[in-house]
Structure 1
Amino acid sequence: MSASQYRRQLENKRKQRLDAEKNAAKYRSKETEKRNAASKARAAAEKAKSNTTRASKLREAQRADQAAAAAGKDAIRWESRAGVYGKSEADLQAKLAKAEQSEADAAERRRQREQQRADRLRAAETASLQHRMNRTESIVTTAMRELRAPKPEKLRILLLGAASAGDLRVGREQKRIRSAVESALHRDQVVLDVRPAATTADLLDGITKFRPHVVHFSGHSTEDLIWFEDERDERHEGFIVSGRAFASAVQAADEPPLLVLLNSCNSAAQIEHLVEHVAPFAIGMTGEIQDGDAITYAAQFYAALANGQSVRSAHLSAQAALELAGLSGAELPMLAYADNVDPSSAWLVKPVE
């Protein structure tokens, strides 16, 4: 639970303890009052001159003793409750301190990720500026790669999911993507090849046989590694390949894809190489993205593409979906593209005229 939830529970438990202590004090006061009344009645009985008065005072003392005993029991019951509430209060106080520390640690990690992202953005901007300067100063004329014109064919999306340890919901992500596409305006113009336990053989087979326009990978990655699965039924650590090997496999086609989306942690470090050597567009994550954030981003991104939005608009729409859902990973997805293409005027799905 969050620190705010623990605070509310702690406040309620403290109120219960204080109420119990107040009730215990009230019954202790009543017990004392009745004990004093019983003593006075017995003293009066001793001084009484008639047997009738003496008997009446003794009965009065007996009733006062009984009332005092009952009040004492009630006081003990409320003191016991106060003790239980006090113990729960101490436990909640410890849990609150732990939750506050955990949230402080999480905030510090977010701050560090934001700082790292800012550093990467500055480095990318510096590298981009240097690259443009080098191109301007170069006397060598190079042929600019052009984004190939859309053919009268359906958009083919290869969905590769790998979670050999069973710790990611790649099946849920692929289900959400399929549902999003099937609900879109131009659903008939999109074809999915879904591979939920993808191996490197699935990657090569999908590239050469399905000839995708979009290659989507969801699973584990680092800044230079990607985890695929082995052909094993039990859970395992997976099969690790380098980002460069993955890029070479994706590029090994007569018509490489137009877009590569790495929906995995810390994959943004690989997308500059992809747009330079493989595809004009690539998307990756600048830090560690949560499972739910990754699923929400992917579903909305492909829904927007299938609704006829540009690559940039689909990316911005998917980030907006994260913000609207109150999720924290909206700043993690990063879109990269080649110098000679414009993502705001690149549509991967167009209605049939």
Structure 2
Amino acid sequence: MSVNQYRSQLNNKRKQRVEAEKKAGEFRTKESKKRAEAAAARAAASKTTTASTAKSKLGEATRKDKDAATAGKDAGRWQSKASTYAREESAIQLKLSRAEKTAADTIERDRKRQEQQTRRLSAGLEAALMSKPSQTLRELRAPKPEKLRLLILGASSEGDIRVGREQKRIRAAVESALHRDRIEFDVRPAATAADLLDGISRFRPHVVHFSGHSDEGFLEFEKDLDERHTGIDVRAGAFARAIQATDTPPLLVLLNSCNSASQIDDLVAKVVPFAIGMADAIEDADAINYAAQFYAAVANGQSINAAHLSGQAALELAGLNGADLPTLASAPDVDPRLTILVEATRQTSFD
């Protein structure tokens, strides 16, 4: 859950606690008032010389005592609610503090990664100035007249992420694009680690897309089970080595999962020219919208960088909060602004 969501929860819980405390105070005031009125009625009964008046005053005192008791119970009930809200408020505050620390750590990691990227680019530019212009960027393998192959892996062993919806939106976005006939899918909605290896070696994808749970050091795949279950954590290093276990490694890896941006620097340094990850926890709607627009732009002949920016813009235009989470990284000797996966006049793939 994001920092903004925790803050919203905290504000709502604080309002509930304040309202409950206000209600408890009102009923305590009512209780005191009714007890004072009961005492006054009993005093009046003791002073009167008329039996009927005394009886009436004592009856009034009894009613006031009952009203006071009811108000006291109501005050206790609201005070109990206020105490519960206060405990929940404290728990949310603790989660918010942790989320803020995680966000601050993520910002610092992004800053360091940006510094590293800048240093790599500077080193590449310096090397380019000392070489021929044709050697400035890596010369990727010549394109062949075949479809761009997109391997989509989705894992949600507990059923808490809408990976099926994401895969449906990606396919629909591509099928509505200009060059829909130039993209081939291998979609695996309950992906296991074996699916990863099989997809890499048999399908030989140009793009590997993963959606599911992840963190800074792992991706969660499913087990080969029919019932809901706890998935299996695959370490980022093992995932990278699986991507490398082919004579035709992919061009791009897109990790559409929480806190995965911390893995992409290693991927572009050792495995693929381009990688995309998420800088923090990302909501389903944000992840789905980004992915759909990214692949729509790719299928419309846009560069990797333009498709990435288009995906971010889609989140902003939809009023979603995660536009700054998708993070693009590239090796120092390639340029995402110049790399087009599907060209307007011919399909480009890099086998």
* Cα gap change, 1:79 to 1:338, in 2 (>3 Å): closer
Distance 1:270 1:76 in 2: 63
CA–CA distance in 2 between the matches of 1:210 and 1:86?
Answer: 63
Task: Please name the residue that 2:31 is paired with.
Answer: 24
Q: What does the per-residue CA deviation read over 1:99-155, in whole Å, with 9 as the maximum and x for residues that have no partner?
A: 22321221122112111211121122123322332454469x959544678776554
Residue type of the partner of 1:109? T
Task: Using CA pairs under 8 Å that are at least 6 residues apart, name the structure with larger relative contact order, 1 or 2.
Answer: 2
Aligned to 1:65: 58
Match of 2:199 in 1: 206
From the superposition, tell whether residues 136 and 107 of structure 1 become closer, same or farther in structure 2 (CA, over 3 Å).
same
Alpha carbons 1:161, 1:198 under 8 Å: kept: yes
Contact 1:25/1:75 (8 A) holds in 2: yes
2:323 is paired with a residue of what secondary structure? coil
| Residue equivalent to 1:194 | 187
Alpha-carbon spacing, 1:343–1:130, altered in 2? closer, same or farther (3 Å): closer
The answer (yes or no) to whether the contact 1:35–1:65 under 8 Å persists in 2 is yes
Q: C-alpha separation between the residues in 2 aligned to 1:304 and 1:347? A: 10
Mapping 1:186-265, distance limit 5 Å: 187-199=180-192, 201-207=194-200, 209-219=202-212, 228=221, 231=224, 235=229, 236-237=231-232, 242-249=238-245, 252-253=247-248, 257-265=250-258
TM-score of the two chains, using structure 2 as the length reference: 0.77
Quote the sequence identity (%). 47
**Structure whose CA Rg is larger:** 1
Contact kept, 8 Å, 1:164 with 1:237, in 2: the verdict is: no
Change (3 A) 1:105 1:198: closer
Alignment of 1:1-353 (within 5 A): 2-42=9-49, 57-137=50-130, 145-146=138-139, 154-163=147-156, 168-184=161-177, 187-199=180-192, 201-207=194-200, 209-219=202-212, 228=221, 231=224, 235=229, 236-237=231-232, 242-249=238-245, 252-253=247-248, 257-265=250-258, 267-268=260-261, 271=264, 275=268, 280-286=273-279, 289=282, 293-324=286-317, 329-337=322-330, 342-349=335-342
The aligned amino acid for 2:98 is: D
Aligned residues of 1:27 and 1:72 also touching (Cα < 8 A): yes
1:282 CA drift (Å): 2.9
TM-score by length of 1: 0.76
User: Deviation digits for residues 45-77 of structure 1, max 9, x if unmatched?
Assistant: xxxxxxxxxxxx221221121112111111111
Cα shift readout 1:154-209 (whole Å, capped 9, x = no counterpart): 54321123455766543343233234334556545543220123345534543455
Matched residue type, 1:25? S
Question: 1:49 — aligned with what?
Answer: none
Judging changes above 3 Å, is the alpha-carbon distance between structure 1 residues 224 and 127 closer, same or farther for their aligned structure 2 residues?
farther
In the other structure, the counterpart of 2:349 is: none
Instruction: Report the CA distance shift for 1:86/1:165 in structure 2 as closer, same or farther (over 3 A).
Output: closer
* 2:273/2:334 contact within 8 Å kept: yes
Unmatched 5+ stretches in structure 2: 1-5, 347-351
- Distance in 2 separating the partners of 1:319 and 1:155: 23
1:38, CA displacement in angstroms? 1.9
**Matched residues, number:** 335
Q: Describe the SS at the equivalent of 1:17.
A: helix
CA RMSD, aligned part only? 3.7
Q: Distance in 2 between matches of 1:220 and 1:69?
A: 64
Residue identity opposite 1:218 in structure 2: S
Shift in CA distance, 63/229, structure 1 to aligned 2, threshold 3 Å: closer
Superposed CA deviations along residues 183-240 of structure 1, whole A, max 9, x for unmatched, are: 5565455432201233455345434554434222234566676555565556452555
Find the aligned partners of 2:216 and 2:88 in 1 and give their Cα distance: 36
Tell me the CA shift for residue 4 of structure 1: 0.6
SS of the counterpart of 1:315?
A: helix
Paired residues of 1:268 and 1:284 also in contact (CA < 8 A): yes
1:21-63 CA-partner distances (Å, limit 9, x unpaired): 2222332232233223322322xxxxxxxxxxxxxx2212211
Query: Partner letter of residue 292 of structure 2?
Result: A
Q: Secondary structure at the match of 1:242?
A: helix
